[in-house]
Amino acid sequence: MSDLSQSAAIFAPVCPIPNDTSDVIKLGHGSGGKMSSDLLDNVFLPALSNKILDQLDDAAVMAINDTRLAFTIDSYVVSPIFFPGGDIGSLSVYGTVNDLSMRGAIPAYISASFILEEGFPIADLHKIVESMKKACLETNIQFAAGDTKVVNRGAADKIFITTCGLGILQYNPAPAANRAVPGDVVIVSGDIGLHGTAIMCARESFELETTIQSDSAPLNELVQEMLKTCPAIHCLRDITRGGLATVLNELASASKVGIEINESAIPVDAQVASICALLGLDPLYVACEGRLIAIVPDNEVEGLLNTMHEHRLGKNAQIIGKVSQQYPERVFMKSRIGGQRILDKLAGEQLPRIC
């Protein structure tokens, strides 16, 4: 199978529509950016919309009798399947744990379905499953159900994993994308762009030697500590495909507020910055897998930051901006040299630029 699928999780190039008029799925529909949300708006929501789905948050919250639950699902198609800092197995568990955590839920149960390509080495499958087992133990989530399908050679790229997670909600109201209000402060938990650049470097074609690793990690413990200190956190969102800029846009949109950030406050590792500079990528749009954005009331910031700094996954947490009532649903960034620009959702592709 071509290595087009490798881009799906990270860069998902957007096909410019060819001159013929047939409507087909393009890679860009999986990018997490504008085309993805258009697909949602045009195809899925008209058919499936209901109050729960319409939350459109990292995980849905619902109540069964008096028990409040968080429920989520995600697919993992990353290539290469083994990369510096993780593999598709650990990624799939952490990803689901993180989605549950973003609603303040304690991760409880996870199920997974595996689509395997004919010819995929069982030894590799062993490694991936071991990795998932480790991740489940680490996060206290219990593997409850699974399914396996095998498809002909070429119909899938080695292995695709879909994970579904269930968590118990602890806080009411739960953090939600639509709860940000003007005056709130925007915090990032650490440096951005590691996962996407680590994946890029794992591909041989660019021959970049680097020590960076994916930031793939479970955020549940960090979030639990954060919520203990500050139960009033308004929004939590983990930064995944589409990068920091896309997440901020989603929050601005959902809460119908403006968000203003400072470029000089955004932490970026020097090697990530170099790789992005060499290839002409913008770290603001590069995927992470172990970083979150928190939007919190102004008076809670100091306490929250102290808590985050004590945790290994929050030690570089920074204030990067604030929520404003100007320019609702837009994200503005003040650049390092003082000029301002709009930070839009990932619209087109981030293919390496040579220009």
Q: Which is nearer to another protein, 209 or 302 (CB)?
A: 209
Q: Which is nearer to another protein, 93 or 259 (CB)?
A: 259
Cβ of residue 270: shortest distance to another protein, in angstroms?
4
**199, 320 in Cβ contact below 8 A?**
no
Q: Which is nearer to another protein, 146 or 267 (CB)?
A: 267
Q: Which is nearer to another protein, 306 or 340 (CB)?
A: 340
- Integer-rounded Cα Rg, in Å, for the chain is 20
The 3-state DSSP class for residue 64 equals: strand
Cβ of residue 265: shortest distance to another protein, in angstroms?
12
Cβ of residue 18: shortest distance to another protein, in angstroms?
6
The 3-state DSSP class for residue 32 equals: coil
**103, 171 in Cβ contact below 8 A?**
no
β-bridge partners, 158: none
Cβ of residue 226: shortest distance to another protein, in angstroms?
30
Q: Which is nearer to another protein, 52 or 278 (CB)?
A: 278
Q: Which is nearer to another protein, 43 or 278 (CB)?
A: 278
Q: Which is nearer to another protein, 53 or 351 (CB)?
A: 351
Cβ of residue 220: shortest distance to another protein, in angstroms?
31
Query: What φ, ψ does residue 305 adopt, rounded to 5°?
Result: -60, -40
Q: What is the DSSP string of 78-120?
A: -SSSEETTEEHHHHHHHHHHHHHHTTTEEEEEEEEEEEEETT-
Cβ of residue 4: shortest distance to another protein, in angstroms?
6
Cβ of residue 282: shortest distance to another protein, in angstroms?
8
- Return d(Cα 16, Cα 309) in angstroms, integer: 43
Q: Which is nearer to another protein, 126 or 353 (CB)?
A: 353
Of 241, 237, 240, residue with least CA distance to 186: 237
- Binding residues for another protein (CB under 8 A): 2, 4, 13-20, 27-28, 34-35, 205-212, 264, 270-271, 273-275, 277-280, 282, 326-327, 330, 332, 335-342, 344, 347-355
Cβ of residue 269: shortest distance to another protein, in angstroms?
8
β-bridge partners, 324: 258
Residue 121, CB-side half-sphere exposure with 13 Å CA sphere:
5
Distances (CA, A) of 188 to 196, 244, 289: 17, 9, 13
* DSSP H or E segment with residue 219: none
β-bridge partners, 298: none
Of 274, 263, 322, residue with least CA distance to 295: 322
β-bridge partners, 151: 117
